[in-house]
């Protein structure tokens, strides 16, 4: 990358999502990479929380980005672009679950007990993260996706409710149940370290999406 290109890339990182979207709409398609790299981890975590499959979560991300790009004119700017984008990924992931004929049990049922995690088993942060991820994966579908959207990715209650198509009171109830199960693990190592979206995976998703939205040669 040349010096001018590095300067341009650094400047692009300072743009808000909404300004990036405005410029992409105006014809600067390459700038869409900025929002992909900015939100890759959030979309990956949201999709994986529903599907519990790394490869399929990546595929959902690609589909969500392509769909978002095609529908940018439908983003009205009244909410956060990140929440709008997450909602697209969540809907795609849920559609895949329904396609498998395994409806998510959003029925308020009590979750199975999560195996108690002993911090003394390992002082290593990597092991603690693995244990936390296992505990999150053990949550019922309804509670796991609410926990990831709210506590891992920081969506508001209203944004999570809109993404999942449920009432805010249901989001609060499911989040409370999830937190009560995971409180010890969260104190030990924090949710932010769970399900990292590593650079090679990020590059792979970005490259695949850019290839699909690139203009046809004249």
Task: Report whether 195 contacts 45 (CB < 8 A).
Answer: yes
**Greater confidence, 66 or 151?**
66
> From CA 91, how far away is CA 75, in angstroms rounded?
16
The answer to which of 57-66, 107-116, 158-167, 181-190 has the lowest mean pLDDT is 107-116
- Residue 148 φ/ψ region, left for φ over 0, alpha for ψ in the -120 to 50 degree band, beta for the rest: alpha
On whether residue 2 sits in a domain, the answer given is no
Supply the pLDDT for residue 131. 67
On whether residue 183 sits in a domain, the answer given is yes
**Counted domains in the chain:** 1
Place of tokens 């850019």: 210
On whether residue 7 sits in a domain, the answer given is no
> From CA 51, how far away is CA 76, in angstroms rounded?
29
> Residue 99 sits in which domain range?
13-213
**Does position 83 have pLDDT exceeding 80, yes or no?**
yes
On whether residue 122 sits in a domain, the answer given is yes
3-state secondary structure the chain: CCHHHHHHHHHHHCCCHHHHHHHHHCCCHHHHHHHHHHHHHHHHHHHHHHHCCHHHHHHHHHHHHHHHHHCHHHCCCCCCHHHHHHHHHHHHHHHHHHHCCCCCCCCCCCCCCCCCCCHHHCCCHHHHHHHHHHHHHHCCHHHHHHHHHHHHCCCCHHHHHHHHCCCHHHHHHHHHHHHHHHHHHHHHHCHHHCCCCCHHHHHHHHHHHHHHHCCCCC
On whether residue 141 sits in a domain, the answer given is yes
Supply the pLDDT for residue 109. 41
On whether residue 56 sits in a domain, the answer given is yes
CB burial readout 28-43, b (16+ within 10 A) else e:
eeebbbbbbebbbbbb
- Note the pLDDT tens digit of each residue in 121-138: 334 456 556 666 777 888
CATH code for position 203: 1.10.1740.10
Place of tokens 């695949």: 208
With cut-offs at 50, 70 and 90, classify the pLDDT of residue 100: low
Task: Report whether 155 contacts 149 (CB < 8 A).
Answer: yes
Supply the pLDDT for residue 215. 58
With cut-offs at 50, 70 and 90, classify the pLDDT of residue 8: low
On whether residue 97 sits in a domain, the answer given is yes
> From CA 27, how far away is CA 2, in angstroms rounded?
23
The answer to which of 33-37, 70-74, 179-183 has the lowest mean pLDDT is 179-183
On whether residue 218 sits in a domain, the answer given is no
């Amino acid at each position: 990358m040349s010096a001018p290109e590095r300067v341009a890339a650094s400047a692009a990182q300072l743009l808000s999502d909404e300004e990036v979207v405005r410029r992409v709409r105006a014809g600067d398609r390459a700038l869409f990479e900025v929002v992909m790299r900015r939100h890759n981890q959030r979309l990956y975590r949201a999709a994986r929380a529903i599907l519990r499959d790394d490869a399929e979560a990546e595929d959902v991300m690609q589909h969500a980005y392509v769909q978002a790009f095609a529908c940018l004119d439908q983003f009205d700017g009244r909410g956060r672009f990140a929440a709008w984008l997450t909602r697209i990924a969540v809907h795609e992931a849920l559609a895949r679950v329904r396609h498998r004929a395994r409806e998510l049990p959003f029925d308020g049922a009590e979750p199975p007990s999560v195996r108690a995690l002993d911090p003394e088993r390992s002082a290593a942060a990597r092991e603690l993260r693995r244990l936390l991820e296992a505990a999150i994966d053990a949550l019922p579908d309804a509670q796991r996706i609410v926990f990831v959207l709210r506590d891992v990715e920081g969506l508001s209650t209203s944004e999570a409710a809109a993404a999942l198509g449920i009432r805010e009171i249901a989001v609060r109830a499911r989040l409370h149940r999830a937190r009560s199960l995971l409180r010890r693990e969260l104190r030990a190592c924090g949710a932010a370290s769970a399900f990292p979206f590593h650079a090679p995976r990020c590059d792979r998703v970005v490259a695949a999406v850019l290839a699909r939205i690139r203009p046809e040669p004249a």
